[in-house]
Amino acid sequence: MLLSGFLVVLGFIFLIKGADWMVNGSTLLAKKNKIPDLAIGLTIVAFGTSAPELVVNTVASYENHSDIVLGNIIGSNNFNLFMILGIVGLIFPIAVQSSTVWKEIPISLVAALVFLILANGYVVGNIGLSRVDGIILLILFLSFLFYIYKQMKSDVSTTEDVVVITASNYKIWGFIVLGLIGLVIGGKLIVDNAVSIASNLGVSEKIIGLTIIAAGTSLPELMTSVVAALKKNSDIAIGNIIGSNIFNIFLILSISSLVRPIEFSPVFNTDIYFLVGGTLFLFVAMFTGKKKILDRWESGVLLAVFIGYTTYLVLQEIQ
């Protein structure tokens, strides 16, 4: 039991460090090619910080732990939206670009609703995520990438300061490769030992996925967004969170269900409704108080609601 706990912690260390190296390498590569901050936040940083979820879910799906797959994605998205934006917004109110308000936030809402519809079989009648559902999600992910590409080409406000990147290509790709290795090792350690802890404690894999694994795999998003907020770089702070939530559903769930069809328990519906409600709150928050700014009081609401909901989940489990 103690050994399993130690190995989970070690796995998170590998995940966080691996994600850090991968984000550093990917961001340097993007900056070298003069890609704007918002695009970096929505794609490269979002993908890098979502890499822990990707690796953990791929392993969990292969080993047929559907509750961990679902719990990790739903829990991570809720952690990103409520906990991380709550903390970041309390540090410094987050200014949000018009394109994020009117496009990226609604896309993240659509992603949550598509997940709800597919998982409950409202279209084809089969509860769960089949490989066909995985293909649908993957097509939506590729469409999102195409949208980002079009945004980059049509964005005429490329007046950002020119940053000269002196790092060599060897160093950049070294960061990326080492990051991937760390992610793979960490993901395997976490899944295997989290399942062991759950069985020893008599706790469901659903709760393990929604809480411990979700929080652990979201640590890269937390650190990235907090650092971005401290540097007053709102584009990366908000782009990282919204981009990660879209990546988690469209990309990671698609890959997970392509590896192995995912069984879906309706008990997860409440957690998805919670995600939908939080995303709607974020959208409405752009028009209350100061326009297109996530104010401190709104961030406080997000954080308080998340703490209350997580407490409720844990109490439900131990009763």
How far is it, in rounded angstroms, from Cα 115 to Cα 63? 22
Dist. CA 102–CA 117, nearest whole Å: 23
Q: Say what the pLDDT of residue 36 is.
A: 67
Inform me whether the pLDDT recorded for 275 exceeds 70: yes
* Residue-level pLDDT at 117: 95
Backbone φ and ψ for 286, nearest 5 degrees, come out as -70, -10
Instruction: Yes or no: say if 56 and 190 are a contact pair by the CB < 8 Å rule.
Output: yes
The pLDDT assigned to 159 comes to: 45
Among residues 13, 18, 40, the alpha carbon closest in space to that of 235 is found at 40
Name the β-bridge partners of 262: 129
Position 291 scores a pLDDT of: 78
Percent of all residues in the chain with a pLDDT value above 90, rounded to a whole number: 34
pLDDT > 50? residue 200: yes
- What is the DSSP secondary-structure string of 42-104? IIIIHHHHHHHHHHHHHHHHHTT-HHHHHHHHHHHHHIIIIIIHHHHHHHSPEE--HHIIIII
What are the residues whose beta carbons fall under 8 Å from the beta carbon of 300, sequence distance 6 or more?
Answer: 86, 89, 90
* DSSP H stretches of helix in 63-204: 66-78, 85-91, 98-99, 105-119, 131-154, 169-201
Ranked by mean pLDDT, the top range of 112-126, 266-280, 285-299 is 266-280
* DSSP element (H, E) containing 294: strand 293-294
Give backbone dihedrals phi and psi of 271, rounded to 5 degrees, phi first: -70, -35
Q: What is the mean pLDDT of residues 83-101?
A: 86
The answer to whether the CB of 262 falls within 8 A of the CB of 66 is yes
Q: Which of 35, 77, 120 is nearest to 244 (CA)?
A: 77
Per-residue pLDDT, 158: 47
Note the pLDDT of residue 129. Answer: 94
- What confidence tens digit (pLDDT) does each residue in 150-174 have? 876 665 454 445 555 667 878 888 8
Asked if 70 and 209 touch (Cβ cutoff 8 Å), the reply is yes
Helix (H) or strand (E) holding 161: none
Task: Say yes or no to pLDDT of 39 above 70.
Answer: no
Confidence tier at 313 by pLDDT (50, 70, 90): confident
Neighbours of 35 (CB within 10 A): 17
Q: What is the mean pLDDT of residues 129-154?
A: 88
Virtual CA dihedral for 247, 252, 253, 255, nearest 10 degrees?
130
Query: Is 80 exceeded by the pLDDT of residue 70?
Result: yes
Domains of the chain: 2-156+165-318 (1.20.1420.30)
Residues 6+ apart with CB under 8 A from 253: 57, 69, 73, 115, 129, 134, 137, 262
Give the tens place of pLDDT for each residue, 221-270. 787 777 777 777 777 678 778 888 998 999 999 999 999 999 999 999 99
CB 310 within 8 A of CB 270: no
Asked if the model's pLDDT at residue 311 lies above 70, the reply is: yes
Q: How confident is the model at residue 175 (pLDDT cuts 50, 70, 90)?
A: confident
Mean pLDDT value across residues 39-43: 63
Question: Which stretch of 3-7, 30-34, 194-198, 227-231 has the lowest confidence by average pLDDT?
Answer: 30-34
